[in-house]
Structure 1
Amino acid sequence: MAMSPELRSKIVKLGGATALTIAIALLGGPDGVEGQRSTPYRDVGGVWTVCSGITGPDVIPGHHYSDKECDALLNKHLAPVKVAVDAAVKIPIDNYTRAALYSFAYNVGVTAFRRSSLLRHVNAGDTLAACDDLRKWVYVNKQRNRGLVNRREIDRQVCLLGQT
């Protein structure tokens, strides 16, 4: 699945922005890869989730989250991901690739990111292989998940924007 023209335009227009700003645009709101749901639900793995993929103790089943609350939660949850990704990436990379790494690590967790071949490829200077590695992370409970296939393709497209 390709990134929607609206999301692509939004991301490209942020070309001079920080990687964090690009990642927030990529993840947040109704146009982001996560979409945005104001009422908690169980994701495909059975985890309580709300807003743009927020999980954990901030998710209160039955609570309705405003857009302002969702924005605050995304910023709160993305901050430690940014720190972890920035510490793990040892070479200079462009902001689009870094934003895609933030999105990926936000979704799979920083431990999985740190152990990934994707990170090894980035640090070896093979960004194209790293972007392609995103396509490997599409399984939930050993089952290929169409939603993750779509999400990883969008992350890959953002990752590759810096390679052109």
Structure 2
Amino acid sequence: MIELFQKLLMLLSGLRPAPTKNEPVLDIEPDPVAMSQEGQKVLKYFESCKLKAYWDADGKAWTVGWGHTGPDVHEGLVITQAQADQLLRQRLSREFVPGVLSAITRSLAQHELDAMVDLAYNIGVGAFQSSTLVRKFNAGDTDGAADEFLRWNRSGGRVLLGLRRRRKADRCLFLGTTAAEAIALGAAVT
């Protein structure tokens, strides 16, 4: 009875009991299922937030908030910061995180998911899913996958400094740096 009470107290306090003699030690972190705040810091730094609709860099789509596009975005649209943040959360949870996770066939760390979601948010889920980056990552070539981020630096056929900076930050985040370090290293690209 005392042993049961001790286990209950440990469970309630968040402590793990020491494994018994024949009990295996399992200290495996579950795969992430959402973009972390660290990942969102990188995304928000490079997307920036505009509360009035504008044409995207390629002049192809009306965009508002944190890079939100779609049939609901039109000329003259103005939203609040709260609406921009909500749109980002919805698109991450409904479209981009599931789109990335559906393409990945092996375990991944939170920082890897964060970097891949930022890339998918910028290039689109379809382009991400069919990328060499995904193929290399799924094959276990993490370093090769990291190098693939740097290839996604073009818009409209032109290499853009902003994309070179973002991809450097994504690569650094993917390899495990903090968001602040990734942003600083990306911003330093000339």
Q: TM (normalized to structure 2)?
A: 0.70
Matched, 1:35 2:32: no
Q: Which residue of 2 aligns with 1:145?
A: 160
SS in 2 for 1:150: helix
**Offset of residue 19 of structure 1:** 4.5
The aligned runs of 1:10-25 (5 Å cut-off) are 19-22=34-37, 23-25=39-41
**Over residues 89-109 of structure 1, what are the superposed CA-to-partner deviations in whole Å (9 max), with x where a residue is unaligned?**
111111001110011111111
The aligned runs of 1:18-97 (5 Å cut-off) are 19-22=34-37, 23-28=39-44, 32-46=45-59, 47-79=61-93, 80-97=95-112
**Offset of residue 18 of structure 1:** 6.3
- Structure 2's unaligned 5+ residue stretches are 1-31, 178-190
For 1:143 and 1:42, how far apart are their aligned partners in 2? Answer: 18
Letter in 2 for 1:132: D
**Over residues 23-47 of structure 1, what are the superposed CA-to-partner deviations in whole Å (9 max), with x where a residue is unaligned?**
333323xxx2211111111121112
SS in 2 for 1:39: strand
**Two-structure CA RMSD over aligned residues (Å):** 1.7
Q: Kindly tell me the number of residue pairs found equivalent between the two proteins.
A: 143
CA contact (8 A) 2:136 2:142 kept: yes
Identity of aligned residues (%): 34
CA contact (8 A) 2:34 2:97 kept: no
Q: Which residue of 2 aligns with 1:126?
A: 141
Moved more, 38-47 or 19-28: 19-28
Q: Which has the higher contact order (CA 8 A, sep 6+)?
A: 1
Letter in 2 for 1:21: S
**Offset of residue 114 of structure 1:** 1.1
Letter in 1 for 2:135: R
- Structure 1's unaligned 5+ residue stretches are 1-16
For 1:115 and 1:42, how far apart are their aligned partners in 2? Answer: 27
**Over residues 84-143 of structure 1, what are the superposed CA-to-partner deviations in whole Å (9 max), with x where a residue is unaligned?**
111111111110011100111111111111110000111011112111111101111211
For 1:146 and 1:25, how far apart are their aligned partners in 2? Answer: 19
